[in-house]
Copies of this chain bind each other. A is one copy, B any other.
Amino acid sequence: MNTSKKMETLKSYIESKGLKSTAQRDYIADTFFKSNTHISLEELLKKVKRKTPNIGYATVYRTMKLLTEGGLAISRQFGDGQTRYENLPEYGHHDHIICVKCSKIAEFQNQKIEELQSETAKKLGFTVINHKLELYGYCSGCA
């Protein structure tokens, strides 16, 4: 999903919840949608403050909570003590492979793995709606 489509989706979500639209929230969301990293609140706040220095941490926090609830962001914990937010990808789903030495994060997709997951879940009586797959290892530079 691209950025403008995400902004539209957000607008619908806000309307459906009876909330009000604000410039701050729009700008935070837009900034997040345009970031391509696994961004933390602190990092996002920093980005946002470049153009609008008077925006507060709490507003960024609440916006990301809203986006997460609305399915436009995915909150994740990679183990560094901070919650990081992931953007919905343009197309399809991806997983992560993380270097335990230099913390480099690469992304990948594998349709076959996804199929096997659904199958396995079904056997256990579960219906899968989402998943997280993280591989940990050494990247080419750190091997």
Asked if A117 and B113 sit within 8 Å, CB to CB, the answer is yes
Chain B residues with CB below 8 A from A110, complex form: 116, 120
Asked if B79 and A77 sit within 8 Å, CB to CB, the answer is yes
Number of copies: 2
Interface size class of A (residues with CB under 8 A): 20 to 34
Chain B residues with CB below 8 A from A108, complex form: 120-121, 123-124
Asked if B136 and A130 sit within 8 Å, CB to CB, the answer is yes
* Residue A4 is within 8 A (CB to CB) of chain B in the complex: no
Closest to A143 in B: B127
**Least distance between A138 CB and chain B CB atoms (Å):** 5
* Residue A137 is within 8 A (CB to CB) of chain B in the complex: yes
